[in-house]
């Protein structure tokens, strides 16, 4: 029971005076809500009403509206939940305000030293083996929002990006492996990357699914199920992150069996995943490239066409019965726009073929660190290809710090491939229909 006593006046003031920053930076996700529910601050109905909001700012606004009414422990519980979800900068903001500005005699509020139970999270994208290094990493900041002016000036040459949520995101992370079937080591620090990606895409208004420590067969089933989700039809893009040990062209399941990455791309191609036709599909993994002949597939619900304008005979095929007008009319009625077997994909690799990837046991992998920084600082005005170029530049400048080991001052080089057909701007936190 919350009792009759409400939040202290200086606590209300701290929330009110910092409301602009809180609305911009706060990430309200399942973990934060669970922490508040465990402390009895939010009821199940309240939690559902918060998470039902369509935007991250909507979730934050509703939570901040409810908190002052939820009793004397609401403020301290909220600060503890911020710490548990790695939003310490917001916790410090509130606490610094209370120390400087409260004029009451209440005893100083202390934060619990133990956080809410957080599922171990993190993982990396590509490696035949990973080097565990301890070095500095960028500080996480809030995702910068896109402005209406930028959206209006760039939307014409870009993929449509108006849906809320933006899309579905899947993070498959293998950290611990079956020692009875494989000699693959625990990917210590892998939890950091998976949590980084979960938080990043949640803040960018994706619906994120995180699956951990799966066998190769379970990974295949999870990927196939994700590709066939009907919600893809309503959203504008999709993200897949695969984080595990790997070799060239494949990644490992926890049972030591390999999942071929070319198969992963096939699961999301235009034939097997029609709901994502003409929509950008982002992958952050290692990848191999195939040379299989592309015979094309009919576009789902594509416009009917009479001929393929501009196609040469060697591309479109030679029609032997040109004088058969009846047959030509039938073909005109049945022809649709064709798509390549695979298109509108972009894949970021942590490292080059044949080389190792670098992982910090405390801060996560180099690649995920730089990817997270680029998205947060540049997604508001930079398309994805240029962001990945910037990631390459940051990775190029890094070197390992492991004095006394063979990996001291080691290097890494990331890369990406793209079959995108337009600029891919995510226009974070901007919804033209709202």
382, two tokens: 């930079």
The pLDDT score that the predictor gives to residue 407 is 64
Position with higher pLDDT, 221 vs 14: 221
Calculate ∠ Cα 282-266-228, nearest 5°: 75
Do 279 and 169 lie in one domain? The reply is: yes
Cα separation, 342 vs 289, in Å, equals: 11
What whole-number distance in Å separates Cα of residue 75 and Cα of residue 63?
A: 12
In a domain, 426, yes or no: no
Q: Please give the Cα distance from 333 to 305 (Å, whole number).
A: 8
- Same domain? For 188 and 284 the reply is yes
Average the pLDDT over 292-298 and give the result: 38
Q: Which residue has the higher pLDDT, 127 or 100?
A: 100
Q: What is the mean pLDDT of residues 260-280?
A: 95
Last residue of a domain, one of 101, 120, 148: 101
Cα gap 119→98, rounded to integer Å: 31
pLDDT-based confidence at 83, cuts 50/70/90? confident
Mean pLDDT, all residues of the chain: 78
Most confident of 95-104, 185-194, 343-352, 380-389: 380-389
Q: Mean pLDDT check: name the lowest of 155-169, 213-227, 293-307, 324-338.
A: 293-307
Does a structural domain hold residue 399?
yes
Number of domains in the chain: 2
Confidence class for position 209, pLDDT limits 50, 70, 90: very high
Tell me if 348 sits within 8 A of 125, measured CB to CB. Answer: yes
Alpha carbons 355 and 425: distance in angstroms, whole number: 30
pLDDT at 48 (0 to 100):
86
pLDDT digits (tens, 9 = 90+) for 107-164: 333 322 221 222 333 333 333 334 444 444 444 678 999 999 999 999 999 999 999 9
Scanning the structure block, which residue is given the tokens 């695979």?
A: 342
Query: Out of 288, 311, 408, 421, which one is annotated catalytic?
Result: 288
Is residue 199 a part of any domain in this protein? yes
Q: Is residue 30 one of the residues assigned to a domain?
A: yes
Calculate the alpha carbon distances from 302 to 188, 204, 245, 299, 337 in Å: 47, 30, 40, 5, 6
Q: What is the pLDDT of residues 331-381, one digit of tens each?
A: 555 566 788 889 999 999 888 887 777 777 788 888 898 999 999 999 999
Taken as a whole, the chain contains a residue count of 434
Q: Are strands 281-284 and 237-243 parallel, antiparallel or unpaired?
A: parallel
In terms of domains, do 37 and 175 share one? Answer: no
236 and 349 together in one domain: yes
d(CA 326, CA 321): 10
* Structure confidence at residue 89 (pLDDT): 86
Say which range, 232-246, 326-340, 371-385, has the weakest mean pLDDT. 326-340
**Peptide bond before residue 165 is cis, with ω within 30 degrees of 0:** yes
Q: Evaluate if residue 102 carries a pLDDT over 70.
A: no
Mean pLDDT value across residues 52-72: 85
What distance in Å separates the CA atoms of residue 57 and residue 24, rounded to the nearest whole number?
7
115 belongs to a structural domain: no
Domain containing residue 342: 130-288+334-418
Model confidence at 53, in pLDDT bands (50, 70, 90)? confident
Does the predicted model carry a pTM greater than 0.85? Answer: no
Contact 174, 244 (CB under 8 A): yes
For 317, list phi and psi in degrees, rounded to 5. 100, 150
> What average pLDDT score do residues 415-426 get?
95
**Catalytic-residue membership of 408:** no
* Domain match, 189 and 239 both: yes
Domain with residue 21: its CATH number is: 1.10.533.10
User: Is a pLDDT exceeding 70 seen at residue 312?
Assistant: no
288 is catalytic: yes
* Paired strand residues for 119: none
End position of a domain, from candidates 81, 101, 121:
101
Out of 146, 245, 347, 383, pick the active-site residue.
Answer: 245
């Amino acid at each position: 029971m919350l009792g009759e006593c409400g939040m202290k006046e200086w606590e209300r003031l701290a929330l009110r005076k910092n409301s602009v920053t809180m609305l911009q930076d706060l990430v309200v996700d399942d973990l934060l809500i669970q922490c508040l529910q465990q402390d009895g601050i939010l009821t199940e109905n309240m939690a559902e009403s918060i998470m039902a909001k369509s935007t991250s700012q909507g979730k934050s606004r509703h939570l901040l509206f409810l908190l002052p009414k939820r009793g004397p422990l609401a403020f301290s519980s909220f600060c503890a939940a911020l710490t548990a979800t790695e939003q310490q900068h917001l916790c410090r903001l509130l606490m610094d305000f209370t120390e400087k500005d409260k004029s009451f005699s209440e005893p100083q509020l202390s934060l619990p030293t133990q956080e809410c139970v957080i599922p171990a999270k993190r993982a990396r994208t590509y490696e035949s083996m990973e080097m565990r290094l301890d070095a500095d990493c960028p500080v996480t900041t809030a995702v910068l929002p896109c402005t209406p002016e930028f959206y209006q000036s760039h939307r014409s040459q870009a993929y449509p990006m108006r849906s809320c949520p933006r899309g579905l995101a899947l993070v498959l992370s293998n950290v611990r492996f079956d020692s009875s079937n494989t000699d693959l080591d625990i990917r210590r620090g892998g939890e950091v990357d998976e949590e980084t990606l979960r938080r990043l895409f949640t803040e960018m208004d994706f619906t994120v699914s995180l699956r951990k420590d799966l066998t190769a067969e379970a990974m295949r089933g999870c990927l196939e199920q994700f590709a066939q989700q009907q919600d893809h039809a309503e959203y504008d893009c999709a993200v897949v992150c695969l984080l595990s040990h790997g070799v060239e062209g494949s990644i490992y399941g926890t049972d030591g069996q390999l999942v071929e990455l070319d198969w992963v791309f096939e699961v999301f191609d235009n034939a097997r995943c029609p709901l994502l036709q003409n929509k950008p599909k982002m992958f952050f993994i290692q990848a191999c490239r195939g040379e299989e002949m592309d015979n094309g597939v009919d576009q789902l619900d594509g416009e009917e066409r009479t001929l393929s304008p501009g196609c040469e005979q060697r591309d479109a095929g030679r029609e032997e019965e040109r004088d058969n007008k009846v047959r030509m009319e039938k073909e005109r009625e049945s022809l649709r726009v064709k798509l390549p077997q695979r298109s509108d994909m972009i894949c970021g690799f942590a490292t080059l073929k044949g080389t190792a990837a670098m992982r910090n046991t405390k801060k996560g992998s180099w690649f995920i660190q730089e990817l997270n920084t680029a998205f947060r600082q540049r997604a508001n005005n930079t398309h994805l290809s240029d962001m990945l170029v910037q990631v390459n530049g940051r990775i190029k400048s890094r070197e390992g710090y492991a004095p006394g080991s063979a990996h001291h001052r080691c290097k890494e080089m990331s890369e990406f491939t793209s079959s995108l057909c337009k600029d891919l701007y995510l226009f974070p936190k901007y919804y033209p229909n709202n």
